[in-house]
Amino acid sequence: MKCVSLYNQGSHRWLAFGQDPAKPDAVIDTVQYVVCAQGGAMLLDPGGMEVFPPMLASITQEIAIEDVSGIFLSHQDPDVGSSLPLWRRVCNPETKIYVSALWTGFIAHFDREAVFTAIPDEGMEISLGSDVRLKLVPAHYLHSPGNFHVYDAKAKILFSGDMGAALVPPGAASGMFVENFASHIPYMEGFHRRWMSSNRARDAWVAAVSKLDIEMMAPQHGLVFKGDDVPRFLEWISGLDLGSGVAAMAR
């Protein structure tokens, strides 16, 4: 599994893990992120159970597993956190698990013994070390009804879950970053039209994240947007008509 450093300033780091060449084709490609600061580390959407073995092997090349102090799940999907019971076995028992208050009872189906820190609808902040604060930004209905993204004001990185996700065919990307926004659109368009159902929620999200100072937007699938590609994405998604599945019901 590839590991790319998105940000590295002293102990404050953002790492992206993905594009595992050994991943079975039937398993959707995911990107897992780790934010570290001052001896603490937060896993963002640690992935499905199939991803756990290579992810554990990769992450332990970068950080000590004992440093993991938190696990954040953007929403309830199996590719986001079905590995939770496995992570809980290798991490400290004190490791906190953050998930929308809406989903705690549902995610317990993956792990009945997990104790969750329920994120309220309006979001919350989490401290990582003494000077890094992660803001959990509401992104409800994009695509899950209880959905959050993570913003790190110091690193200027937004972890955007399924927003900005792309289904990139194997071999089509040479790295972890979007290199040509226009040619990246075909990998994103169908996904967003179908998986994102609410234009109203999208507008509210775009309005909220436009106020943030973002240098990188890191989705859970596909490639990371950086620099001007971030506002390009916001502009593109603002004009997209979402909820394409509704048409099938009208037929």
Partner 1 sequence: MAQLSAGVRRARREAQRSVRIQGRASGLLGDCRRAFHAFGELDELAENLRILSLNAELAAGRAGEMGRAVRALTQYTRELVNRLAQIQGEMFGLRVKTYALSSDVLRELLQLHLFERAADLVAANSASSKSAGIVADRAFAQVMRRMVDTLDSLADSVEAVARRAQAIEEVVSQSDSIATNIAIEASSAGVHEKEFRTVSDTMRRYVDDLRQMIDEASDAVRRALEKGDSLRRIGLENLHELQAKRILGE
**Binding status of residue 49 toward partner 1 by CB under 8 A:** yes
Residue 25 CB, nearest approach to partner 1 (Å): 15
**Binding status of residue 92 toward partner 1 by CB under 8 A:** no
Rank residues 22 and 248 by Cβ distance to partner 1 and give the closer one: 22
**Are residues 142 and 163 in contact, defined by beta-carbon separation less than 8 angstroms?**
yes
Residue 139 · residue 148 · CB < 8 Å: yes
Question: Sign of dihedral through CA atoms 188, 193, 199, 205?
Answer: negative
Q: How far apart are CA 231 and CA 38, in angstroms?
A: 31
Return the residue matching tokens 């893990």.
17
4 is an interface residue for partner 1 by CB under 8 A: no
Q: Which stretch binds partner 1 (CB under 8 A): 64-72, 147-155, 215-223, 230-238?
A: 64-72
Q: Which segments of 197-240 does DSSP mark as H helices, in order? A: 199-210, 229-238
> Can residue 78 be called a binding residue for partner 1 (CB under 8 A)?
no
Q: Which of 22, 182, 247, 249 is the binder for partner 1 (CB under 8 A)?
A: 22
Least distance CB 66 / partner 1 (angstroms): 8
Instruction: Select from 28, 65, 204, 206 the one that contacts partner 1 (CB under 8 A).
Output: 65
- Tell me which stretch binds partner 1 (CB under 8 A): 58-66, 117-125, 170-178, 187-195: 58-66
Residue found by looking up tokens 């929403």 in the block: 75
Phi, psi of 42 (to 5 degrees): -120, 125
